[in-house]
Amino acid sequence: MGAVRRAEDVLRGRRGMLERAAADLAPGQLERVRQLLERWSEGSKRELAELLGEERARRLMRDLGIE
């Protein structure tokens, strides 16, 4: 069973990690991903996949340790 994370915990200590993991994103996309992660909820995985594509979203979540 997966752990449930609070929205405020998703990016705690991970901002630099996010910027390195998402270095290939356009600046606008990076900001949208950052906003999405700051308000993380049940539907956020789906929204992230719609924004980045399944594989990139999965890789980003793995790199950030949130999946």
Query: Residue 36 corresponds to which tokens in the numbers above?
Result: 């999405």
* 22 and 30 Cβ atoms separated by less than 8 Å: yes
* More reliable by pLDDT, 1 or 66: 66
Q: Where are the alpha helices (DSSP H) in 1-67?
A: 7-10, 15-21, 27-38, 44-52, 54-64
Q: What is the rounded CA–CA span in Å between residue 37 and residue 15?
A: 10
pTM: 0.68
* 18 and 34 Cβ atoms separated by less than 8 Å: yes
Q: What is the pLDDT of residues 21-61, one digit of tens each?
A: 777 788 888 889 888 888 888 899 999 999 989 998 998 88
